[in-house]
């Protein structure tokens, strides 16, 4: 049985006190959602320590949105995997399209970030997805396959067993334009097939999340698909009510 996961990527939103409030509201409302749902929240680095205190003992897990590719040292402005792990993070989002697009993250960088994450017992939420041009040219399968082969295929079986994948089509992120449930299922099943070619039966256990304008009104349809194991939520994760409703609409109360 694969985990059912609803993860919130807050991106660069909320001030620390607002983040604490948001986390408190998520904790307060969690009882309205099936216990089968594993919630993860990924606030900005600056909020991690305070949000960790709010989440302690609630079953809601903490993640970061990124980590450095290096262990430690003279890397001004970077935050290491060891640092976020020390603050209570269990997860780290890596390879988000915004990092690839605006900060030039390549597979070479991401391989090093993945190593750092595993070295500090973090579970990477590795993001893949095509842009609009690639989708329209029918290249989405090839794009996603390359993003997996160049990074995930370098993992050991033990590392792979501790990996979450998020499929986030760039054209659906923050645009209000969601992939249809059929489009999501088609590519999620393809991703699982690619993973199984390298890792065999273990691929059947990998949680593959959908991300891109996921909201309470479309969660049920998306999460009903066989290979869609939950969502990585941006905008709708900034309202506790919506974030929780994605869990309850998608997986039950
Ligand atoms: P939106 O839910 O705002 O489209 O963002 C999705 C995303 O990028 C999550 O990582």
Q: Give me the DSSP letters along 116-153.
A: HHHHTTPEEEEEE---HHHHHTT-HHHHHHHHHHTTGG
The reported pLDDT for the residue numbered 178 is 87
Distance between CA atoms of residues 26 and 14, nearest Å: 15
The reported pLDDT for the residue numbered 32 is 92
Among candidate residues 147, 158, 145, the one with its CA nearest the CA of residue 192: 145
| Residue from 14, 173, 208 whose mutation best tests the ligand 1 pocket (most atoms within 8 A of CB) | 173
Among candidate residues 147, 54, 39, the one with its CA nearest the CA of residue 90: 39
Looking at the domain that runs over 4-251, which CATH code has it been given?
3.20.20.70
The reported pLDDT for the residue numbered 144 is 98
Domain ranges for the chain, please list them.
4-251
* Residues 248, 191, 137, 98, CA torsion sign: positive
Each residue of 176-189: pLDDT tens digit? 888 899 999 999 99
Asked whether 130 lines ligand 1 (CB < 6 A), one says: no
Task: Give the mean pLDDT of the chain.
Answer: 97
> What 3-state class would DSSP assign to 5?
strand
In the reported structure, the alpha carbon of residue 12 is separated from the centroid of ligand 1 by a whole-number distance in angstroms of 12
Active-site residue, 38 included:
no
Distance between CA atoms of residues 227 and 223, nearest Å: 8
- Residues of the chain whose pLDDT is less than 50? none
The reported pLDDT for the residue numbered 123 is 98
The reported pLDDT for the residue numbered 41 is 98
Q: Which two tokens stand for residue 181?
A: 């449930």
Active-site residue, 188 included:
no
In the reported structure, the alpha carbon of residue 48 is separated from the centroid of ligand 1 by a whole-number distance in angstroms of 19
HSE-up of 180 (CA within 13 Å, CB side)?
3
Contact of 164 with 119, CB cutoff 8 Å: no
Q: Whose CA is nearest to atom 2 of ligand 1?
A: 234
In the reported structure, the alpha carbon of residue 215 is separated from the centroid of ligand 1 by a whole-number distance in angstroms of 10
Q: From residue 143, give the alpha-carbon distance in Å to each of 5, 80, 134, 190.
A: 24, 28, 8, 12
């Amino acid at each position: 049985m694969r985990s059912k996961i609803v993860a919130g990527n807050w991106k660069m939103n909320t001030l620390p006190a607002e983040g604490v409030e948001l986390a408190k509201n998520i904790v307060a409302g969690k009882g309205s959602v099936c216990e089968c749902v594993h919630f993860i929240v990924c606030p900005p680095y600056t909020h991690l320590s305070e949000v960790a205190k709010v989440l302690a003992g609630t079953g809601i897990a903490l993640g970061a949105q990124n980590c450095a590719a290096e262990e430690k040292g003279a890397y001004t402005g970077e935050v290491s995997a060891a640092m976020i792990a020390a603050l209570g993070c269990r997860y780290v989002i890596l390879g988000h399209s915004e990092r690839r697009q605006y900060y030039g993250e390549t597979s070479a960088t991401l391989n090093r970030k993945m190593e750092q994450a595993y070295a500090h017992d973090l579970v990477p939420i590795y993001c893949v997805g095509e842009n609009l041009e690639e989708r329209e040219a029918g290249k989405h399968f090839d794009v996603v396959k390359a993003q997996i082969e160049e990074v995930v295929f370098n993992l050991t079986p033990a590392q792979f067993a501790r990996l979450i994948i998020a499929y986030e089509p760039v054209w659906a992120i923050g645009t209000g334009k969601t992939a249809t449930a059929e489009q999501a299922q088609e590519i999620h099943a393809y991703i699982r097939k690619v993973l199984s070619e390298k890792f065999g039966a273990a691929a059947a256990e990998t949680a593959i999340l959908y991300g891109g304008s996921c909201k309470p009104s479309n969660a049920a349809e998306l999460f009903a698909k066989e290979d869609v194991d939950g969502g990585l939520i941006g905008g709708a994760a900034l309202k506790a009510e919506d974030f929780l409703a994605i869990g309850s609409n998608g997986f039950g109360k």
